[in-house]
Amino acid sequence: MQDDILKLALEVSRVTGEKISEIETIMRQTRLIALNARIEAGRAGPAGAAFSVVAQEMSSVSSHITEVAQALRTAVQANVARIETVGGEMLVNFRGARFQDIALNAIEIMDRNLYERSCDVRWWATDSAVVDALGAPGADSAAYASRRLATILRSYTVYLDLWVVGADGRVVANGRPGVYPDAVGRDVSHEAWFRDAMRTGSGDDFAVADVAAFGPLDGAAVATYATAIRRNGESSGRPLGVLGIFFDWAPQAAAIVGGVGLSAEEKAGSRVMLLDAKHRVIAASDGAGLLAETYPLKSEGGDRGFYLDDDRLVSYARTPGYETYRGLGWLGVVEHRLVQAQAAPVVPQRRFAAL
């Protein structure tokens, strides 16, 4: 609707300008005719005196109409300029608020997804096969745990692999030994997710690491969730080791930033992103800068809002978390490039209140 208002204002300005130009052309012709009439009246002498008066009046009326036309042009241009400015700001506010909601929706969808991952890891850590792999260590229990993890992976296709890790940080079993044969025996005691999981207070707790390329899984980008595997699978049992699960980040994130509710025209001029708490790009609709670019977001500590930076309208929303998953301070962001007609009346880096 705001686009229609701006287009209508521009069309009114164009049509009015054309018609005023036509009036001015006619008045110039009228003045020329009046001048010629006065010349001919002068040649006619006393007999043309009355006609000379009429010609003079025609010239005066023509000049007056020209002045009115010029005043009308000035007034129309001024008011159309105001309509363009106000309409441009209305458009920015409308789109900014809408894109902010889209950014929030994107990060909420991801957090609901990751909430399920936090539930998965705490649930599977109590599986008897997983617990026995550490509680009754041996080749048979490790092989059985591997088969059990493989069964889980066939149903939960969002994971690259699942690892059972002993208290010493050595991987005991994994769910895809055929794909990742070097996993078993690997030392992950230096990994933050392992150390944090070993320090969890109960089976209700879990550890999570920011998205990162994980070398042992062929360098794939993963979001890692982990929790302690406890004696007898009891929530208060002594930690025997860790279950680590590796969420296949790239395809899931791409589906979210690529599936937001933008029109085809809006998508062509927009970049939809997910940022971590340090504003590192962890997902982007254009596929650029993943895990390498730090986006210059000017959130000023706010949880949501939008602002203008030159010809870019940037809308953002920080994760509110979901259920028992508090989130990691990630943000959804929509960067939209405004066309020149929309961007012209806008002050660079102008900030709008969050809605």
Given 3-state DSSP classes, what are the helix, strand and coil percentages for the chain, each rounded to the nearest 5? 50, 20, 25
Q: What percent of the chain has pLDDT over 70?
A: 78
**pTM for this entry:** 0.75
Q: Assess whether pLDDT exceeds 60 at residue 147.
A: yes
Walk me through the domains of the chain, giving residue ranges and CATH numbers: 116-249 (3.30.450.20)
- Find out whether 228 and 242 touch, Cβ atoms under 8 Å: yes
Residue in the structure block whose two tokens are 């929030």: 104
Q: Assess whether pLDDT exceeds 90 at residue 314.
A: yes
Q: How do residues 158-188 score in pLDDT, each as one tens digit?
A: 999 999 999 999 999 999 999 999 999 999 9
CA distance 239 to 185: 19
Q: How do residues 1-27 score in pLDDT, each as one tens digit?
A: 545 665 666 677 677 777 777 777 777
